[in-house]
């Protein structure tokens, strides 16, 4: 148990390192130095960097699922739920290195597969539940197909983090994600939902 706890501490530190510097540029030497341990000790927990990156990805998305579940259960309605999730995601993405996702895709396909699985399963189910909730609350239109809309949302997620489409020097992730969420909500909202969005749109979006 103590060994597992130590491994989780290492992974949590690595999450911060990778978020700040990307994955490719951070070596096992860098990680060992940051943790104040020898590389030999580090290799007692992870067989290689790819193993470490895979475990970091799994830990990160498990934590993300827990956080989003809490948001979903505490939000007053479907629109609030989406906006609260978007604020949380934007806060998490502040200061993230724009090369992170590209590094995973190019150099760590197993970790990239973890992300794809998370997106196509966890995020899809979250979005599907949100759509059904909004329809039941009368905030989303009744004539939409939840499965199609949820899949469209998943597909657009990759566009949001596409650094060729949205160069980091020109667009901030927070601004892109804000526009994306409002674009999504306005596309599926009923008249009642649009009125509610108009009512709250002047509230602070993300600090």
pLDDT for 205 equals 47
pLDDT for 206 equals 38
In the predicted structure, residue 207 carries a pLDDT above the cut 80: no
Average pLDDT in the 178-205 region? 90
Per-residue pLDDT band for 127 (boundaries 50, 70, 90) equals very high
Residue 189, beta-bridge partner list: 140
Q: What is the pLDDT of residues 11-49, one digit of tens each?
A: 999 999 999 999 999 999 999 999 999 999 999 999 999
The four Cα atoms 135, 85, 69, 15 give a dihedral, to 10 degrees, of 150
Q: What pTM was estimated for this model as a whole? A: 0.88
φ, ψ of residue 26 in degrees (nearest 5): -95, 120
Task: Please choose, from the candidates 10, 99, 2, 97, the residue with its C-alpha nearest in 3D space to the C-alpha of residue 52.
Answer: 10
Q: Which domains does the chain have, with CATH numbers?
A: 49-200 (1.10.357.10)
Q: CB neighbours (10 Å) of residue 11?
A: 19
Query: Distance between CA atoms of 14 and 133, rounded to whole angstroms?
Result: 36
Task: Please choose, from the candidates 61, 72, 53, the residue with its C-alpha nearest in 3D space to the C-alpha of residue 118.
Answer: 61
pLDDT for 3 equals 60
- Residues near 14 by beta carbon (within 8 Å), at least 6 away in sequence: 26, 31, 52, 56
| Pair 46, 52: CB distance under 8 Å | yes
Query: Distance between CA atoms of 163 and 203, rounded to whole angstroms?
Result: 29
Spell out where 34-139 has E strands.
Answer: none
Q: What is the pLDDT of residues 155-174, one digit of tens each?
A: 998 899 888 899 988 998 88
25 secondary structure, DSSP code: T
* Mean pLDDT over each residue of the chain, to the nearest integer: 92
Q: What is the pLDDT of residues 53-96, one digit of tens each?
A: 999 999 999 999 999 999 999 999 999 999 999 999 989 888 78
pLDDT for 93 equals 86
pLDDT for 106 equals 94
Per-residue pLDDT band for 113 (boundaries 50, 70, 90) equals very high
Query: Distance between CA atoms of 184 and 32, rounded to whole angstroms?
Result: 43
């Amino acid at each position: 148990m103590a060994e597992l706890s130590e491994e989780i501490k290492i992974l949590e530190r690595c999450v911060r390192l990778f978020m700040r510097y990307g994955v490719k540029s951070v070596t096992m030497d860098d990680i060992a130095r940051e943790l104040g341990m020898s590389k030999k000790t580090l290799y007692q927990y992870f067989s290689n960097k790819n193993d470490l990156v895979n475990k970091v990805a799994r830990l990160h998305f498990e934590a993300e699922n827990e956080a989003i579940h809490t948001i979903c259960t505490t939000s007053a309605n479907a629109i609030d739920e989406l906006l609260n999730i978007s604020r949380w995601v934007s806060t998490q993405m502040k200061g993230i290195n724009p090369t992170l996702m590209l590094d995973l895709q190019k150099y760590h396909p197993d970790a990239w597969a973890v992300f794809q699985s998370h997106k196509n399963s966890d995020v899809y189910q979250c979005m599907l539940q949100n759509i059904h909730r909004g329809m039941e609350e009368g905030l989303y239109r009744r004539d939409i197909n939840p499965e199609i809309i949820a899949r469209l949302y998943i597909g657009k997620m990759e566009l949001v983090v596409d650094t060729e489409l949205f160069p980091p020097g020109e667009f901030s992730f927070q601004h892109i994600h804000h526009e994306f969420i409002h674009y999504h909500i306005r596309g599926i909202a009923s008249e009642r939902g649009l009125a509610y969005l108009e009512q709250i749109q002047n509230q602070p979006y993300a600090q």
